Amino acid sequence: MAGELGLRLSGGEETFFGDDPLFKNDRRIIEQRNVVEALEEEANLAAMPWDDFEHLVRQLFEWEFGRNGVEVKVTRASHDRGVDAIMFDPDPLRGGKYVLQAKRYTRPVDVASVRDLYGTVVNEGANRGILVTTSSYGPDSYEFAKDKPISLVDGPNLLAMLTKHGRRYRIDLEEARRIDAASDIS
């Protein structure tokens, strides 16, 4: 059965994707940026540009899982089919494809975003979807995600994950709303 899935449990070179390595032919993948170098300590993540936030989430998941051979790549902003980043774990037992959505929001993420992620997980044939936000999720989002291959990472958990990797940032939603409002006026 393992051979039918395109993998070997020991001694083989095949992975979940057989001879077609992940990312090789995915035209959505863009050049990866290191946004942490330019991010000051105690920076407000809720006020950073949304595309930088996507790259920060990619970097975080590389720090968290990269030592195990996991690769994480950001996709282009348009025509990404609802995927901000793709993570691939080559481990034949726990591994597979994961889709990441990064939401730099100043208000709670609505259940529609969680539903969209679930549809993307199914469409992409992914093992799991992970939705990361600077904000929070309402009860409807948690209820929908229950018993589905979806993980919801809110602002406090995001900060905890970053702190684990020696990064000290903050999330101030009120400050970010003021900055966003001022930029909409100009």
Give pLDDT tens digits for 118-174. 999 999 899 999 999 999 999 999 999 999 999 999 999 999 999 999 999 999 999
Q: Which residue has the higher pLDDT, 9 or 174?
A: 174
Q: State the Cα–Cα distance between residues 137 and 70, nearest whole angstrom.
A: 27
Ordered DSSP codes for 114-166: HHHHHHHHHHHT-SEEEEEESS-B-HHHHHHHTTSSEEEE-HHHHHHHHHHTT
Give pLDDT tens digits for 17-56. 333 455 556 677 667 778 888 889 999 999 999 889 999 9
81-103: average pLDDT: 87
Q: State the Cα–Cα distance between residues 90 and 13, nearest whole angstrom.
A: 11
Q: Which residue has the higher pLDDT, 11 or 111?
A: 111
Q: What does the block give as tokens for 106? A: 């100043």
- pLDDT at residue number 186: 56
- pLDDT at residue number 33: 75
Domains, the chain, ordered by start: 30-185 (3.40.1350.10)
Instruction: Judge whether residue 66 has pLDDT over 50.
Output: yes
For residue 50, give the amino acid letter: W
Q: State the Cα–Cα distance between residues 25 and 39, nearest whole angstrom.
A: 32
Within the chain, residue ranges assigned H as helices are 50-65, 111-124, 139-145, 155-164, 173-185
- pLDDT at residue number 156: 98
Among the listed residues 72, 71, 69, the one whose alpha carbon sits nearest the alpha carbon of residue 91:
69
